[in-house]
Amino acid sequence: MPKPIQYLKDDEIEEMAAEVLDKHVDGGRQKPLPPIDVDTLTECNFRFKVVWRPIDDPPGCRTFATLLPILDSDLFVAELTLNENFREFLTEHPEIERFTRGHELCHWNVHVDEGKLRSGLLPFGDSAPLIRYHRSQYSDGLLSDDQKNRLAKFALQNDRAYRALRPREHDIEASIEPQWMHRQAEHFAACLLVPRHPLFRALESGDDPAFYGTHVRLARMFQVSKRVIQIRLQKLGIIEEIGSGKFRNTLVRNRQSF
């Protein structure tokens, strides 16, 4: 399994996401107008060619998208492939497609070795661009039970998909995104789509950040899932989880200033 070149803390990943906002989004990190236009970011600012194409996952994986460099184009630098097998699901849940685009943008902005980009090499000594599949459990925490149940009918976890990997890569694990990389990409996407400064301003209305209704309002404002909002609030020290789906407001105790 590939190892990180450099361990990056959550605040370092957040700074990288903020730098993308500063460079490409009106208002920068301080005053961007939510929701963040991640389609323009990926397709125009970063010049990703976005296509829908089936991605046949190996057993135990569920991959919404992959990103591979394009070496022979002056117009595009990479191809962002959205999984045709999940098109209906992603169309019904645009907040998940938005988050998926943010996730793949992290791989380009944080994980791709820029010095090897144009040679076609991805990080960690790979000899050629390699699709990295995502284990199902990596993103389960971001999905509701209903969403996970609906995904079951789309999943392609069969012997044919598994065998298709064997000619390219003898070690199946080398084709699967490591958990540390997935975690960084999920955090980057959350920081990009839910920047801290507009999030803090949205809480100045006085709504209790621990309330489910507040999570619903914020999810609509930033066009992400409620679970992304809950995780973002927890990582910022605004709330803490005290039970399944139950949270406590920690702002008074922490004296965190907006």
Same domain, residue pair 50 and 64: yes
Domain that holds residue 233: 196-254
Q: Which of 140, 170, 193 represents a domain boundary (last residue)?
A: 193
- β-partners of residue 65 are 82
Q: pLDDT-derived band of residue 130, with 50, 70 and 90 as boundaries?
A: low
Burial class (CB in 10 A: 0-12, 13-18, 19+), 245: exposed
* Residue that wins the pLDDT comparison between 136 and 2: 136
Query: Which of 161, 146, 164, 174 shows the shortest CA–CA distance to 60?
Result: 161
- Considering the domain architecture, whether residues 246 and 124 belong to the same structural domain is answered as no
| 201 in the same domain as 189 | no
pTM, two decimals, is 0.83
Mean pLDDT of the chain: 83
Q: Are residues 219 and 96 in the same domain?
A: no
The Cα–Cα gap between 117 and 208 comes to 46
Q: Which of 130, 241, 106 is nearest to 184 (CA)?
A: 106
Residues 129 and 224 placed together within one structural domain of the fold: no
In whole angstroms, what separates CA 220 from the centre of its chain? 18
Q: Tell whether 210 and 164 lie within a shared domain.
A: no
Average pLDDT estimate for 10-20: 96
Detail the DSSP E strand segments found in the chain.
48-53, 65-69, 78-83, 239-243, 246-249
Domain boundary among 193, 227, 243: 193
Q: For 135-146, what is each residue's pLDDT tens digit? A: 887 777 778 777
Write out pLDDT tens, residues 142-162. 787 778 777 766 654 444 444
Q: Which two tokens stand for residue 11?
A: 């605040």
- Judgement on whether residues 55 and 153 belong to the same structural domain of the protein: yes
